[in-house]
């Protein structure tokens, strides 16, 4: 049974949702609190109330609670105002649903979200494994912490949900993007460890350099492993970005691998989007549209 | 005796300093090759070792090695390159330009200290 | 074109439209409204239009697919097309511009700004030479989409290469890295009040982050951006102005972060070069009045959406939304909404996996279900995934029908019939995997070339007849023969598609519940709801090729009911009269295929083939 968490859902909404999902999901309802460990649920459904900004705040917090897992966060909100929907999506929602929609449609859409994201193929693990190993190495050698790899799934787009990200563009035999994303608390701790200073002393410059250097070292050390292969790449300079909801594009025909690590109880992700240029190992690459 | 640490990242410079200081050195810091040369112009006699990154703005590590080695007053200075660049061609290139040692990132404290010792030893023995 | 002040606004959101239309009208334009492609096409057919402003998601189709469709229509491809999009992940500006879009705006859209942009498009159109629809291709891979609620940057009509060709002056010794909590220096004399102009910054020229300009002087720019930096870091700033795209280089003098949750304030010292001088002039004195046009950029390879999108969604439009013949407006609206939900559902599957099939993209959606492009991870080959729509999947009899359809098609073993590989249920979704065909549909060929080359058309017709002979031998009626369902793949092989409404003759239809087909090509007996046989397919095939050979369907009207009526009662204009170039004999064959009385048509498809062969003699 899929565990679905209903947040701030009215009795009526709960009833409707139970009718739609009750046969395949175990629903439990809570009112929103700042400490929501959404991580344990298969899906979170929030009924938006109050202002759009208030609701978006809640969405953000729920997304943080998901600890980067591929947990759909659905916002129940009437109407189809595009700007509102976008606000929610930027804040971390996976979809916005109006319960005015026919129950069959709601069910179908929610079921679609419940389908788990796919896991990597063997050939994909071949290029992901070095990234995983080097991330663990970098964190261990430079920050003296143990980063434990948790899981990987494939996302459709490269979206940042975190506070600070270090991003590097890749080009060469393969092209793509690699990004590390952390929340502030962990970012401060890691960089404080690296520099051997107390976390309170970490200022913006340290964070900038730290994030940039982390992604630089992870990508740089992984680059070596791909020398001579179709995955070989060159690195650009790291770009450090703050804030959530940013969307970076990705080349056609390749998915983004989201690698989740945990340092103690806190998580961070490495997003790897890598597409070998020559070999059409991804079907999208061969499809260039129709010859007319 | 002084060690000059050259890297555009303050974080890396601090990490290196944290290893080097306990070894008894005074640490000078520069954010790029040009700053490094400025500092050398002032303190060259007391500088024993330069720890140098490759990719930096303004003037990168490779250029800096060449300039240091071109200056006979800096003959006594040992150069250890510390960089994410880890490909053989790049390493060869650095050595050809005059680097005396190479350490790739990431590294831990012991590795760095060890590398410094062995590089200096080899340098003095030459 | 520039004189035509009629604008077609295609948008589903009523309140938005109500808010915006008066403002546009106030500026002297006439606004025609539509909520979906079908309405839009009617409108375009009824009056000439000077500009199309389109939302990214319409009732029945995606905006970008509509763009592709319009740009392939020789009568309408010159109409400028402007997109209104959200920041969400579906929109790819590069794709839109490659297809020929003139501009795009990101929500929230201010009515006055929209009017301003509309004005810009008109002015640019006035100066551009005909057919020089410059397709501005963004200079770098546009990897980053605007985040935050900032309006999109306007791209120029004729594209100009980034002007920052001049090498930067040797930068002064970079200031020693200093703690970042320093307030940016107050701008030197002559700060100018600015509208919030949008630009992008980048460290490496590959990843661009949106930013806003707050103030500027001759030597510096004060920016607000989520790109993090520190003093001394070199950045590039990209301005997209009507005059062109300009890239300016500089380095960060100081950066101020008050709150890590918000963007930073960066004070950037600029390298003085031509690009900056030009921008500075524009910023202080206003837009350049004299526009220089570079030669129209040669269109990049058009990444056209798959034909089936057009086919399927036009089918949706043609069949009044459902393939259900019903006049009630309520049902029509419900149908549109249902189609929209279906499309959302299919989209939510992208990136997920059903059994061994990874879902790549949505190809098209019809009333019965959707077609997605997939990848068989076990056999490592492309597949098309046909997924039953939600409404139908909840009803047992439709699930049965779906499965039966799969079985029916799998029995038909023929190189000109798209093959079925597998049928399955995964995560409660009923689907079947079939041969994925890449190529052109007859519909696209007609759109592109207006009418088919005679000998090419005859070959295709003959091949389809061969395929239909096999279909007939297996006691199957296709029931939806139309140009969109006939495809020629990249190897030149003809493929008959979409047996979506096919029926085994033995199957009980359970009464006259569903009348499916496409009005333009439906046989009279199909319209009348009678039992069908292969002769009905023959009629539809005749009608299809009538259209293909002369460029117009046998019966046309503004209302579906009228078209159906004509099939039932009216005589069609003989093909040779419609088009002098068509041999009388061929015209006769088509006529016989389309006889109102099925008994007067050819007895079998083989007979049709024989008649066609006589033509060549």
With cut-offs at 50, 70 and 90, classify the pLDDT of residue C158: very low
CB-based contacts of A116-122 (< 8 A; 24+ apart in sequence): A116/A70, A116/A153, A116/C352, A116/C353, A117/A70, A117/A153, A117/A154, A117/A155, A117/C351, A117/C352, A118/A153, A118/A154, A118/C351, A118/C352, A118/C353, A118/C358, A119/A152, A119/A153, A119/A154, A120/A152, A120/A154, A120/A257, A121/C377
User: C115: domain CATH number?
Assistant: 3.40.50.2300
Q: Are residues C233 and C111 in the same domain?
A: no
Chain A residues within 8 A of B15 when measuring between CB atoms: 142, 194-196
Q: What is the pLDDT of residue C297?
A: 31
For residue C480, indicate whether it is catalytic: yes
With cut-offs at 50, 70 and 90, classify the pLDDT of residue B29: very high
Q: Is the pLDDT of residue C141 over 50?
A: no
Q: What is the pLDDT of residue C338?
A: 66
Q: Are residues C449 and C573 in the same domain?
A: yes
With cut-offs at 50, 70 and 90, classify the pLDDT of residue C75: low
Q: Are residues C322 and C452 in the same domain?
A: no
Mean pLDDT lowest among C195-199, C237-241, C369-373: C195-199
- In terms of Cα–Cα distance, which of A39, A109, A48, A111 is closest to A70? A39
Q: What letter does residue C417 receive in the DSSP assignment?
A: B
Containing H/E element for A54? helix A52-65
Q: What is the pLDDT of residue C169?
A: 34
Higher-scoring residue by pLDDT: C416, C143: C416
Q: Tell me if A194 and B11 make a contact (CB, 8 A cut-off).
A: yes
Q: Indicate the residue among C94, C127, C160 that finishes a domain.
A: C127
Query: B touches which chains (3+ CB pairs under 8 A)?
Result: A, C
> Which residues lie across from C358 on neighbouring strands?
C353, C375
Higher-scoring residue by pLDDT: C114, B50: B50
Enter the tokens of residue C469. Answer: 């002979």
C207 vs A95, A167, A255: nearest CB: A167
Tally A–C CB contacts below 8 A: 220
A209 vs B10, B86, B111: nearest CB: B10
Would residue C133 count as lying in a domain?
no
Containing H/E element for A17? helix A11-21
Could you give the number of structural domains in chain C? 4
C226 vs A157, A209, A246: nearest CB: A246
Q: Are residues C424 and C458 in the same domain?
A: no
Which region holds residue A79: left if phi is over 0, alpha if psi is between -120 and 50, else beta? Answer: left
Enter the tokens of residue B50. Answer: 């330069």
Alpha-carbon distance C300 to C315, whole Å?
Answer: 29
Would residue C136 count as lying in a domain?
no
Task: Please tell me the distance in Å from B56's CA to the nearest CA on chain C.
Answer: 10
Q: Is C556 helix (H, G, I), strand (E, B) or coil?
A: coil
Chain A residues within 8 A of C307 when measuring between CB atoms: 290
Chain A residues within 8 A of C301 when measuring between CB atoms: 288-289
Alpha-carbon distance C345 to C334, whole Å?
Answer: 16
Chain B residues within 8 A of C234 when measuring between CB atoms: 57
Q: What is the pLDDT of residue C337?
A: 66
- In terms of Cα–Cα distance, which of C494, C465, C510 is closest to C606? C465
For residue C204, what are the CA distances in angstroms to A163, A168, A241? Answer: 21, 9, 13
Mean pLDDT lowest among A65-79, B13-27, C75-89, C438-452: C75-89
With cut-offs at 50, 70 and 90, classify the pLDDT of residue B28: very high
Kindly give, in sequence order, each residue whose CB lies less than 8 Å from that of residue A175, ignoring residues fewer than 6 positions away.
A233, A251, A274, A275, A277
Q: Are residues C182 and C248 in the same domain?
A: yes
Q: Three-class SS string for C230-264?
A: CCCCEEEEEEEECCEEEEEEEEEEEEECCCCCCCE
> Which residues lie across from C374 on neighbouring strands?
C359, C383
Task: Please tell me the distance in Å from C235's CA to the nearest CA on chain B.
Answer: 11
Mean pLDDT lowest among A104-118, C80-94, C295-309, C602-616: C295-309
Would residue C190 count as lying in a domain?
yes
Average pLDDT in chain C: 73
- In terms of Cα–Cα distance, which of B108, B20, B16 is closest to A144? B108
Which structural domain, as residue segments, surrounds residue C489?
445-616
Q: Are residues C526 and C413 in the same domain?
A: no
pLDDT beneath 70, residues of chain A: 249-255, 277-292
Chain B residues within 8 A of A205 when measuring between CB atoms: 10
A108 vs C228, C231, C390: nearest CB: C390
pLDDT for B78-124, tens place per residue?
999 999 888 888 899 999 999 999 999 999 899 999 999 999 999 99
Q: Is C234 on the interface with B (CB under 8 A)?
A: yes
Q: What is the pLDDT of residue C166?
A: 31
Q: Is the pLDDT of residue C105 over 80?
A: no
Q: Tell me if A204 and C226 make a contact (CB, 8 A cut-off).
A: no
Which residue does chain A place closest to B57, by CA atoms?
A237
Percent of chain C scoring above 90 in pLDDT:
12
Cβ atoms of residues A67 and A16 within 8 Å: no
Higher-scoring residue by pLDDT: C121, B26: B26
Q: Are residues C463 and C605 in the same domain?
A: yes
For residue A16, what are the CA distances in angstroms to A10, A76, A79, A99, C50? Answer: 10, 12, 17, 8, 47
Q: Is C181 on the interface with B (CB under 8 A)?
A: no
User: What is B2-125's CATH superfamily?
Assistant: Response regulator (3.40.50.2300)
pLDDT for C254-290, tens place per residue?
888 776 666 777 888 877 777 788 878 877 776 654 4
Higher-scoring residue by pLDDT: C278, C189: C278
Mean pLDDT lowest among C95-99, C462-466, C603-607: C95-99
Q: Are residues C318 and C219 in the same domain?
A: no
Q: What is the pLDDT of residue B6?
A: 95
Higher-scoring residue by pLDDT: C423, C502: C423
Alpha-carbon distance C275 to C164, whole Å?
Answer: 6
Cβ atoms of residues C14 and C20 within 8 Å: no
For residue A209, what are the CA distances in angstroms to A133, B110, B124, C293? Answer: 22, 23, 34, 43
User: C312: domain CATH number?
Assistant: 3.30.200.20
pLDDT for C17-46, tens place per residue?
888 888 888 888 888 888 888 778 778 777
Q: Are residues C244 and C106 in the same domain?
A: no
For residue B12, the number of C-alpha atoms closer than 13 Å in the C-beta half-sphere is 32
Q: Tell me if B11 and A210 make a contact (CB, 8 A cut-off).
A: yes
Q: What is the DSSP string of A135-203?
A: HHHHHHHHH----EEEEEEEESSEE--SSEEEEEEEEESEEEEEEEEE-HHHHHHHHHHHHTS-GGG--
Query: Chain-centre distance of CA C403, in angstroms?
Result: 30
What ipTM, to 2 d.p.?
Answer: 0.88
Q: Tell me if B58 and C174 make a contact (CB, 8 A cut-off).
A: yes
User: C229: domain CATH number?
Assistant: 2.40.10.220
Q: Is A198 on the interface with B (CB under 8 A)?
A: no
Chain A residues within 8 A of B55 when measuring between CB atoms: 237
Chain B residues within 8 A of A227 when measuring between CB atoms: 87
- In terms of Cα–Cα distance, which of C126, C123, C132, C129 is closest to C100? C132
C177 vs B10, B34, B38: nearest CB: B10
Higher-scoring residue by pLDDT: C98, A100: A100
Enter the tokens of residue C319. Answer: 């069949």
Q: What is the pLDDT of residue C335?
A: 64
Kindly give, in sequence order, each residue whose CB lies less than 8 Å from that of residue A37, ignoring residues fewer than 6 positions away.
A65
With cut-offs at 50, 70 and 90, classify the pLDDT of residue C513: very low
Query: A touches which chains (3+ CB pairs under 8 A)?
Result: B, C
Would residue C135 count as lying in a domain?
no
Task: Please tell me the distance in Å from A243's CA to the nearest CA on chain C.
Answer: 6
Would residue C138 count as lying in a domain?
no
Q: Is the pLDDT of residue C294 over 50?
A: no
Among C120, C159, C376, C480, which one carries the catalytic annotation?
A: C480
Q: What is the pLDDT of residue C174?
A: 33
- The domain segmentation of chain B, as residue ranges, is 2-125
Please give the model's pTM, rounded to 2 decimal places.
0.63
Sign, CA dihedral C256-C258-C259-C262, equals negative
Mean pLDDT lowest among C200-209, C291-300, C392-401: C291-300
Q: What is the largest CA-CA distance in chain A?
A: 64
Q: Is the pLDDT of residue C152 over 90?
A: no
Question: Beta B26-30 vs B2-6: how paired, if at all?
Answer: parallel
Q: What is the mean pLDDT of residues B39-56?
A: 91
Q: Tell me if C143 and A105 make a contact (CB, 8 A cut-off).
A: no
Would residue C427 count as lying in a domain?
yes
User: C498: domain CATH number?
Assistant: 1.10.510.10
A249 vs C144, C351, C393: nearest CB: C144
Q: What is the pLDDT of residue C451?
A: 82
Chosen for mutation from A42, A53, A104 (greatest number of chain C CBs closer than 10 Å) is A104
With cut-offs at 50, 70 and 90, classify the pLDDT of residue C334: low
Which residue does chain B place closest to A209, by CA atoms?
B9
Cβ atoms of residues A178 and A168 within 8 Å: yes
Q: Are residues C471 and C566 in the same domain?
A: yes
Which domains can be identified in chain A, with CATH numbers?
Answer: 2-114 (3.40.50.2300), 122-280 (3.40.1550.10)
């Amino acid at each position: 049974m899929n565990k679905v968490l209903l947040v701030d859902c009215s009795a009526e909404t709960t009833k409707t949702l139970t009718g739609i999902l009750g046969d395949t999901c175990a629903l439990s309802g809570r009112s929103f609190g700042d400490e929501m460990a959404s991580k344990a649920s298969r899906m979170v459904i929030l009924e938006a109330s109050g202002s759009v900004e208030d609701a978006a705040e809640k969405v953000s917090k729920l997304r943080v609670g998901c600890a980067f897992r591929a947990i759909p966060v659905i916002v129940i909100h009437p109407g189809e105002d595009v700007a509102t929907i976008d606000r929610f999506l930027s804040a971390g929602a996976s979809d916005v649903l109006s319960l005015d929609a026919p129950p069959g449609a709601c069910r179908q859409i929610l079921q679609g979200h419940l389908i788990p994201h796919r896991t990597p193929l063997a050939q994909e693990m071949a290029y992901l494994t070095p990234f995983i190993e080097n991330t663990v190495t970098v964190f261990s050698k430079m920050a003296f912490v143990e980063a434990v790899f948790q899981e990987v799934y494939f996302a459709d787009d490269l979206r940042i949900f975190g506070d600070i990200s270090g991003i590097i563009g890749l080009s060469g035999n393969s092209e793509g993007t690699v990004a590390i994303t952390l929340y502030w608390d962990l970012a401060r701790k890691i960089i404080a460890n690296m520099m051997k200073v107390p976390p309170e002393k970490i200022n913006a410059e340290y964070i900038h350099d730290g994030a940039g250097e982390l992604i630089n070292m992870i990508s740089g050390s992984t680059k070596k492993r791909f020398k001579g292969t179709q995955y070989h790449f060159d690195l650009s300079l790291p770009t450090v970005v703050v804030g959530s909801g940013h969307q970076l594009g990705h080349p056609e025909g390749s998915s983004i691998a989201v690698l989740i690590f945990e340092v103690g109880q806190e998580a961070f992700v490495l997003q790897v989007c890598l597409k070998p240029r020559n070999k059409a190992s991804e079907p999208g690459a061969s499809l260039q549209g129709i010859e007319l | 005796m002084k060690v000059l640490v050259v890297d555009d990242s303050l974080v890396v410079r601090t990490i290196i300093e944290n290893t080097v200081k306990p070894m008894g050195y005074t640490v000078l810091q520069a954010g790029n090759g040009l700053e490094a040369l400025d500092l050398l112009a002032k303190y060259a006699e007391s500088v024993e070792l330069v720890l140098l990154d490759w990719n930096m703005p303004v003037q990168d590590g490779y250029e800096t090695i060449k300039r240091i080695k071109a200056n006979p007053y800096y003959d006594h200075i040992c150069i250890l390159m510390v960089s994410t660049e880890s490909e053989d061609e790049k390493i060869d290139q650095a050595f050809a330009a005059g680097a005396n040692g190479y350490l790739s990132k990431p590294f831990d404290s012991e590795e760095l200290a060890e590398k410094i010792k062995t590089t200096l030893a080899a340098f003095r023995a030459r | 074109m520039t004189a035509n002040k009629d604008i077609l606004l295609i948008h589903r959101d009523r309140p938005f439209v109500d808010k915006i239309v008066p403002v546009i009208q106030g500026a002297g334009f006439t606004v025609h409204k539509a909520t979906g492609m079908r309405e839009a096409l009617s409108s375009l057919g009824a009056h000439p239009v000077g500009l199309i402003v389109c939302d990214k998601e319409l009732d029945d189709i995606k905006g970008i697919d509509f763009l592709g469709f319009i740009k392939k229509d020789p009568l309408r491809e010159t109409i400028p097309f402007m997109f209104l999009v959200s920041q969400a992940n579906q929109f790819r500006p590069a794709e839109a511009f490659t297809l020929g879009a003139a501009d795009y705006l990101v929500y929230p859209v201010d009515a006055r700004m929209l009017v301003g942009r509309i004005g810009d498009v008109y002015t640019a159109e006035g100066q551009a030479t005909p057919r020089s629809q410059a397709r501005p291709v963004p200079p770098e891979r546009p990897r980053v989409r605007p985040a935050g609620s900032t309006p999109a940057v306007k791209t120029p009509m004729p594209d100009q290469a980034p002007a920052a060709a001049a090498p930067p002056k040797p930068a002064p010794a970079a200031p020693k890295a200093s703690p970042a909590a320093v307030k940016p220096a107050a701008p030197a004399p002559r700060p100018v009040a600015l509208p919030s102009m949008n630009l992008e910054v980048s460290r490496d020229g590959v990843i661009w982050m949106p930013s806003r300009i707050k103030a500027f002087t001759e030597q510096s720019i004060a920016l607000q951006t989520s790109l993090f930096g520190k003093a001394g870091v070199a950045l590039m700033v990209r301005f997209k102005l009507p005059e062109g795209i300009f890239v300016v280089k500089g380095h960060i003098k100081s950066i101020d972060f008050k709150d890590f949750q918000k963007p930073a304030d960066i004070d950037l010292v600029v390298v003085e070069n031509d690009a900056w001088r030009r921008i500075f002039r524009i910023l202080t004195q206003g837009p350049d009045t004299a526009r220089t046009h570079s030669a129209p950029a040669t269109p990049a390879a058009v990444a056209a959406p798959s034909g089936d999108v057009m086919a399927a969604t036009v089918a949706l439009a043609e069949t009044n939304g459902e393939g259900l013949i019903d006049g009630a407006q309520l049902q029509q609206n419900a149908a549109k909404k249902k189609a929209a939900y279906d499309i959302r559902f299919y989209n939510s599957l992208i990136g997920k996996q059903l059994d061994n099939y990874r879902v790549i993209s949505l190809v098209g959606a019809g009333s019965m279900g959707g077609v997605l492009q997939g990848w068989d991870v076990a056999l490592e080959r492309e597949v098309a995934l046909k997924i039953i729509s939600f409404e139908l999947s909840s009803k047992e009899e439709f699930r049965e029908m779906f499965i039966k359809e799969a079985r029916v098609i799998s029995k038909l073993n023929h190189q000109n019939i798209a093959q079925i590989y597998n049928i399955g249920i995964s995560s409660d979704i009923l689907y079947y995997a079939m041969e994925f065909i890449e190529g052109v549909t007859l519909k696209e060929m007609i759109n592109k070339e207006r009418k088919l080359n005679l000998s090419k058309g005859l070959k295709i017709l003959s091949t389809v007849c061969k395929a239909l002979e096999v279909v007939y031998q297996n006691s199957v009626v296709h029931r939806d023969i139309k140009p969109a369902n006939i495809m020629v793949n990249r190897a030149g092989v003809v493929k008959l598609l979409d047996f979506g409404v096919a029926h085994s003759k033995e199957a009980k239809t359970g009464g006259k519940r569903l009348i499916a087909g496409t009005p333009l090509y439906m046989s009279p007996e199909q319209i009348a709801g009678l039992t069908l046989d292969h002769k009905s397919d023959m009629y539809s095939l005749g009608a299809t090729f009538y259209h293909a050979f002369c460029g117009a369907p046998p019966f046309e009207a503004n209302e579906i009911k009228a078209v159906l009526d004509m099939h039932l009662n009216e005589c069609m204009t003989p093909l040779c009269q419609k088009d002098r170039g068509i041999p009388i004999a061929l015209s006769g064959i088509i006529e016989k295929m389309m006889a109102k009385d099925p008994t007067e048509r050819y007895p079998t498809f083989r007979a049709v083939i024989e008649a066609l062969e006589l033509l060549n003699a």
